[in-house]
A = this chain, B = another copy of it.
Amino acid sequence: MISGKQNILITNDDGIDAPGIRALYKALLKCDYRIFVVAPASEMSAVGHAITLSDPLRVKEVNLDKKIKAYRVNGTPADCVKIAYWALLDIKPDLIISGINTGSNTGINMLYSGTVSAATEGSILGIPSFAISLATYSDPDFSFAADFSCRIAEIILKNRMPESVFLNINVPNLPKEKIKGVKVTRQGRAIFVEKYEKRYDPRGNTYYWLSGQKIDKENETDIDEGAVQNGYVSVTPVHFDLTHHNSIDMLEKWNIKI
């Protein structure tokens, strides 16, 4: 084991062969980190924070780059972080990065995001973590987001992240010179109006296809989606304490009896 270098675990939810994760580990190698990749075998979008309990996890060591130890796992992003930490790696990572996802993970979408769930899992394990996503599905240019990941890695490893807090980063799909800057943001609240298309199979059974559609535009640059829409990188601090502490007193007053 080479001493001195810091260890970064990389995962994603688009799968180990996705161009976003490749751009990420290539950029980080140049920044002289020791890289471990443990990522899903296939695309895992909208898996939420799922873990695999009822099936075994198949794990295969693969060769991405001679400087990288890499494993392909037939599981979710959260599975990848857990099995990396508890079974596959012989070191504790100094940092976990999940991405670069194709498509933004802003607002309510964070709840459905496998990319974000991997960073949550890292944070649960007490490891500084961030998720990074590129806000496009067509013609993704990962170059800026990959370089920016190196910079964020350096900043996080130098400063201390508060315990149980990680970052959710969304990057506009623009060349560096067109990006206006960085905004620290909060999670947006825009709600999707969903459309379900009803169809019948040849045997007359009903099925539905989901086709989501956003309504409210949240254009303020202190909100994740608004920042990205306006050409800024969005950096949101995220935690996994779901307690709504402000409601505890109210509920005490309800005086619920059995």
The interface of chain A, by Cβ under 8 A from chain B, is: 45-54, 56-60, 76, 78-79, 82-83, 85-87, 108, 110-112, 117, 120, 124-126, 144, 148, 151-152, 155, 159, 162, 164-165, 167-168, 176, 179, 181-182, 184, 186-187, 189, 191, 193-196, 198-199, 205-210, 233, 235-248, 250-252, 254, 256-258
Task: Point out the residues of chain B lying under 8 angstroms from A53, CB to CB.
Answer: 45-46, 210
Task: Give the Cβ gap from A95 to chain B, nearest Cβ, in Å.
Answer: 15
Q: Is there an interface contact between A82 and B194, defined as CB atoms closer than 8 Å? A: yes
Task: Point out the residues of chain B lying under 8 angstroms from A59, CB to CB.
Answer: 206-208
Q: Is there an interface contact between B46 and A50, defined as CB atoms closer than 8 Å? A: yes
Candidates B49, B176, B179, B205; contact of A49 at CB < 8 Å: B49
Closest to A57 in B: B208
What is the CA–CA distance of A162 and B246 in the complex, to the nearest angstrom? 10
Closest to A257 in B: B182
8 pairs, CB–CB < 8 Å, chain A vs chain B: A45-B53, A49-B111, A59-B206, A86-B196, A110-B242, A184-B256, A237-B245, A237-B250
Q: Is there an interface contact between B240 and A236, defined as CB atoms closer than 8 Å? A: no
Q: Is there an interface contact between A206 and B58, defined as CB atoms closer than 8 Å? A: yes
What is the CA–CA distance of A164 and B167 in the complex, to the nearest angstrom? 22
Task: Give the Cβ gap from A82 to chain B, nearest Cβ, in Å.
Answer: 6
Closest to A184 in B: B251
Task: Point out the residues of chain B lying under 8 angstroms from A45, CB to CB.
Answer: 53-54
Candidates B152, B248, B258; contact of A182 at CB < 8 Å: B258
What is the CA–CA distance of A111 and B250 in the complex, to the nearest angstrom? 24
Return the 7 tightest CB-CB contacts between A and B, nearest first.
Answer: A237-B247, A48-B49, A48-B48, A239-B244, A87-B196, A48-B50, A56-B207
Q: Is there an interface contact between A52 and B86, defined as CB atoms closer than 8 Å? A: no
Task: Point out the residues of chain B lying under 8 angstroms from A236, CB to CB.
Answer: 243
Task: Point out the residues of chain B lying under 8 angstroms from A243, CB to CB.
Answer: 186-187, 236-239
Task: Point out the residues of chain B lying under 8 angstroms from A78, CB to CB.
Answer: 48, 112
Candidates B60, B206, B248; contact of A206 at CB < 8 Å: B60
Task: Give the Cβ gap from A105 to chain B, nearest Cβ, in Å.
Answer: 11
What is the CA–CA distance of A126 and B206 in the complex, to the nearest angstrom? 28
Q: Is there an interface contact between B238 and A251, defined as CB atoms closer than 8 Å? A: no
What is the CA–CA distance of A246 and B164 in the complex, to the nearest angstrom? 12
Task: Give the Cβ gap from A181 to chain B, nearest Cβ, in Å.
Answer: 6
Closest to A196 in B: B87
Say yes or no: A155-B256 contact (C-beta < 8 A), given A87-B198, A108-B124, A124-B108.
yes
